[in-house]
């Protein structure tokens, strides 16, 4: 079989991408409670970028096969997982073994979601992470009964799902983006409150809008100075939940007086921890309900292009140039 190999972590992402190699190896054999999946496709997410830079919380023994999620068909199984053969699945892989940018992958059965037969396999490749992340973030908004949330990196896919799910619960959203074209696209698609983070009066506008709409929860995928700017502008009693570090910068600029005298809170969200907290039956319920929304096209991951292993370098550099245009899918074919 063929797989993509990262020889070494590289802080410069372009160098990391250029160093990727396609190598041949033996098809692995599934152990007890494991399955062998023939991979249909796997996306590149910001977490894969951070992984290749050596800046993520998952560090694999090198050389390593990147890729944290994907979709495919179970073609073989170890003892205890035989019932899964021939199932369409999507999967999440975080351990110190080969990742999903491979023709075949061995996975523990607990890392699979067995899919409804009608699920589109390209959409399924991006189903394990972002839709559930948005759902977990929405749960925080519902728990706090907030009328409005603020989110940055609003042109991205998690943010798109959050916007859609928030609308279904009558929660307003203030979207923050860094590029004017992203702001224009969001407005065109119906987003009502869109702010540009580099506008001179960004903080003033955010302060007025968040006070008016009672936006006391912010979902932050960027970090750096933007975290401080957002939290400082929010009303008393606000919380900012950090779930990504796209700026590659430490969180900064938070006014300590806000934390001391205005009951403001900084917290974090991680999908794997949220999943751990959920009862398996409840997770299945959420998964089935969400798959139904994908099957009827209510939810959709934007996919900008598909690339095979031999063109992965150009595919990944295109994604880096225009992340808001949608995911790139890596397909072994
Ligand atoms: N904590 C968790 O469990 C969890 C789970 C899933 C995802 N995440 C995180 O969620 C974030 C979004 O993921 P995604 O899949 O939705 O991303 P995506 O669809 O690939 O899009 C990334 C978005 O971020 C914007 N962006 C990139 N760098 C930025 C920066 N320095 N400042 C401001 N905006 C920036 C891009 O805008 P441009 O078009 O302007 O480049 C694009 O709109 C990532 O940080 C990811 O790691 C976390």
Query: Is 177 in contact with 197 (CB distance < 8 Å)?
Result: yes
Distance CA 77, CA 85 (A): 6
Is the Cβ atom of 243 under 6 angstroms away from ligand 1? yes
| Per-residue model confidence (pLDDT) at position 333 | 79
Is the Cβ atom of 247 under 6 angstroms away from ligand 1? yes
**158 CA: nearest ligand 1 atom:** 16
Is the Cβ atom of 57 under 6 angstroms away from ligand 1? no
Domain range 2-127+301-331, CATH class = alpha beta
Angle of CA points 33, 289, 217, to nearest 5°:
105
Residue 276 CA to ligand 1 center (angstroms) comes to 23
Query: Is 164 in contact with 173 (CB distance < 8 Å)?
Result: no
Query: Is 234 in contact with 218 (CB distance < 8 Å)?
Result: yes
The torsion angles phi and psi of 57, rounded to 5 degrees, stand at: -80, -10
| Per-residue model confidence (pLDDT) at position 90 | 98
User: Which mean pLDDT values do the consecutive 10-residue runs of the chain (333 residues) have?
Assistant: 98 97 97 98 97 94 98 98 98 94 97 97 98 98 98 98 98 98 97 97 98 98 98 98 97 98 98 95 96 98 97 96 95 90
Q: What is the pTM of this model?
A: 0.97
Could you state, in order of their start, the residue ranges of all structural domains in the chain?
2-127+301-331, 133-270
Is the Cβ atom of 129 under 6 angstroms away from ligand 1? yes
- So what's the architecture of 133-270 in CATH? 3-Layer(aba) Sandwich (3.40)
Distance CA 291, CA 150 (A): 26
Residue 208 CA to ligand 1 center (angstroms) comes to 26
| Per-residue model confidence (pLDDT) at position 157 | 97
Is the Cβ atom of 151 under 6 angstroms away from ligand 1? no
Is the Cβ atom of 157 under 6 angstroms away from ligand 1? yes
Contacts by 272-278 with C-beta closer than 8 Å and gap 24+?
A: 272/94, 274/132, 274/136, 274/139, 275/132, 275/136
């Amino acid at each position: 079989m063929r797989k993509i190999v990262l020889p070494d972590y590289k802080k410069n992402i372009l160098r990391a991408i250029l160093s990727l190699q396609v190598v041949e190896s033996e098809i692995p054999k599934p152990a007890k409670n494991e399955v062998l999946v023939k991979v249909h496709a796997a996306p590149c997410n910001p977490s894969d970028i951070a992984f290749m830079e050596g800046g993520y919380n998952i560090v694999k023994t090198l050389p390593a096969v990147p890729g944290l999620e994907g979709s495919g068909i179970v073609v073989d199984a170890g003892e205890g997982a035989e019932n899964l053969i021939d199932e369409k699945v999507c999967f999440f892989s975080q351990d110190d073994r080969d990742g999903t940018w491979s023709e075949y992958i061995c996975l523990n059965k607990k890392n699979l979601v067995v899919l409804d037969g009608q699920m589109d396999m390209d959409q399924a490749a991006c189903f394990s992470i972002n839709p559930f992340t948005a759902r977990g973030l929405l749960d925080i908004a519902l728990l706090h009964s907030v009328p409005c949330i603020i989110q940055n990196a609003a042109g991205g896919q998690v943010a798109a799902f959050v916007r859609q799910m928030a609308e279904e619960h009558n929660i307003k959203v203030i979207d923050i983006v860094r590029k004017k074209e992203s702001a224009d696209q969001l407005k065109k698609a119906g987003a009502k409150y869109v702010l540009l983070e580099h506008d001179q009066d960004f903080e003033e506008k955010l302060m007025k809008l968040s006070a008016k709409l009672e936006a006391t929860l912010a979902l932050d995928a960027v970090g750096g100075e933007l975290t401080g700017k957002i939290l400082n502008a929010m009303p008393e009693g606000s919380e900012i939940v950090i779930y990504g570090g796209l700026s590659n910068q430490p969180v900064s600029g938070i006014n300590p007086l806000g934390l001391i005298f205005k009951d403001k809170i900084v917290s974090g969200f991680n999908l794997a921890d949220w999943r751990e907290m959920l009862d398996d039956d409840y997770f299945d319920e959420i998964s089935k309900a969400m798959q139904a929304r994908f099957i009827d096209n209510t939810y959709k991951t934007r996919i900008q292009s598909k690339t095979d292993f031999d063109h992965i370098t150009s595919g990944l550099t295109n994604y880096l140039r225009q992340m808001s245009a949608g995911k790139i899918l890596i397909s072994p074919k």
